[in-house]
Structure 1
Amino acid sequence: KDKVYDYYDSVYSADAGQAHYDKERLNCGRRPKWADTDTFINWADDKMIHEKWSPDVVVGFASNQGLFSSTIIPCTTTLYQWIDRGIMKTTNLDLLEKLSRKIKKLDHKPRLNKRILGTPIDERPAVVETRETFGHWEIDTVIGNKVKSDAVLLTLAERQTRFEVILKLNGKDAYSVDQAVQALRERAGENFSSLFKTLTSDNGSEFAGLHEALQDRVDVYFSHPYTSWERGTSENQHKLIRRFLPKGKPMTDVSEAQCLRIQQWMNDYPRRILDYQTPHDCFVKALQQERTAV
């Protein structure tokens, strides 16, 4: 009769149960990479906002160069998601290429040239198309506000390395192009033959003198009308130029120094197609190989 018995009765509390569940949820699942450190995020924001790098280039360059631990570098898709969710300072407005991307119908049916300035692209060696060798260039112009008196940019893109040359011309005419090409030839000097093997352009009247001016040193080929894909390297390079010089901007207002800065940015911009190397680095390596081969 001296024994004492204790009895316990469990009463469920919804609030206590929810609190316990919430606490346990904090420790389950995989932690997002951005939760561990903001080192990569700060670097990526700087590259995308101030240096106008794309998310894919940011991820690829950081991974290839070993700039950060792989545990904090996301994949390209994840980085886009971070931008969309507001985790980054970068917004979609900073990604000019994403905003301007359009899906085009592939209707690659070349038309016959009404104007024949020289050797058609059909006769261009296959090795140029495959980009197996160095020294094959595409030449084109970038216009501003379509006023005849406005200046234009003459662009040359090396197909294998994507190295870009930008020259400002007083007008979109054959004389201006010929003068610029001649100046480029003199500047290259004894390296001209190593640098330039072929040149491909469209059938614009401004390129009417190319074949004559370069036929003794460079093979010049002309693409079909309305076939921009035949000069795809130039087209893609122009998209990068348009990040700085949008359509409608008078090229007369663009200084030589500005052209040089844009050219330098493009040549120092890592490319996925180059395994995230820069066009400048690839260009130097290719030119050194050309000299060694000779």
Structure 2
Amino acid sequence: MNSETALPPIVSAGDVPAAGDGVVIADVRWSLSGPKDAATFREEYATGHIPGAVFVDLDDDLSDHSVTGAGRHPLPREDDFAATRARLGIGPDTRVYAYGTDDPAGAARLVLMLRFSGIAAALIDGGLPAYRAAHPDVPMEPGHNDPTPVETVEEPLVRLVSIDEVAYAAHSRSALLVDARAPERFRGDVEPVDPRAGHIPTAVNVPYAAHLQADGTFRSPEQIRRTFEDAGATGERIVINYCGSGVSACVNVLAMEHAGLRHGYLFPGSFSEWSADPQREVETR
């Protein structure tokens, strides 16, 4: 299935179908700024989630922390991700709708990985709060749902770039590097988690939070497109998106597609991989 035509990257909460009959709803709670861990997110999921939704753990299901030297959230191997999809009930023809709570980045990571694997997946605009507002008569479901496993096959993830490809793009300016982190981290004013402060040379800053309105829903495609175009994205030039660890940059890639901009790629190791290598130059400003 061609995921980019089967489902748009972002869908309105009011258009989300019920789980079942080839539809999987995924609850991917994660927060860039909060101190919560997976156990807390799982407990919150158990107190109430969209009916039929399955819980997805960003660290266990969408990352492989046994991999070293590839940033703080290395992508899982293709066979491991295929096994995760099968366990979650996501087959090649399944449609997946993913949501978060306060932060869409974790859900965006799942959606992007699925779309890059050729599976139809969309991010629910505004997450759980928007769904509850759009479906006031639908009670939230407590407890845990055990998904029904399905048969699936390994699929390569496309539109990923390596650290050496990023270095070439920075040197040759053959692609636009877009940093999705907050401006203060991009400039190098602060760096709370990674080895060095600053950003990859030649990168421009388009914080993923700039695409969100106060209620957590996305700004219009026209507004998002203007933000990227102001940063140098033309729709014809490859745009390599990165962040701290390859999670929040997924929001930028989906936002590009939402705005009708092509050629959005992801550097999954992101700045945590780049800054850990002392041979890689870092800029501050």
TM-score calculated relative to the size of structure 1:
0.28
TM-score calculated relative to the size of structure 2:
0.28
Greater relative CO (CA pairs within 8 A, separation 6+):
2
Considering fraction of residues, name the structure with more helix: 1
